[in-house]
Amino acid sequence: MSFGQGGPYGPGGSQTPDWSALADTAARDRRRKWLLFGGGAVAAAAIAAIVATAVIVSDDGGGDKNATRLPSPAQLPSESAVPEPTFSDVDPPAPISPLEVIADGKKDTAPITAAGLFPGDQAVISGRSYTKGAVTSTKDCGSVAQKALHPALTGNGCRQVVRATYTRDGIAVTVGVAVFDTKAAAERAKEAAGPFLATLPGAGVDRFCANTACRSTSNAIGRYGYFTTAGHTDGSPVPTSDTKVRQAGLDVAGHAFDRIMQRATTQASAAATTD
* Mean pLDDT computed over every residue of the chain: 79
Query: Could you tell me the end-to-end alpha-carbon distance of the chain, in angstroms, rounded to an integer?
Result: 129
Residue 96 CB burial class (10 angstroms; 0-12, 13-18, ≥19):
middle
DSSP of 127-196, one letter per residue? Answer: TEEEEEEEEEEES-GGGGB-TTHHHHHHTTT--EEEEEEEEETTEEEEEEEEE-SBHHHHHHHHHH--S-
Mean pLDDT of 162-191: 97
Q: Give, for 122, the enclosing helix (H) or strand (E).
A: strand 122-125
Mean pLDDT of 1-20: 42
Residue 15 has pLDDT above 70, yes or no: no
Give the pLDDT score at 6: 38
Q: Please, which residues have CB within 8 angstroms of residue 227's CB and are 6 or more apart in sequence?
A: 149, 175, 176, 178, 193, 197, 216, 217, 218, 219
pTM of the model: 0.66
Taking only the tens place, the pLDDT of each residue in 227-265 is: 999 999 999 999 999 999 999 999 999 999 999 999 999
Taking only the tens place, the pLDDT of each residue in 30-58 is: 555 444 444 454 444 444 444 443 343 33
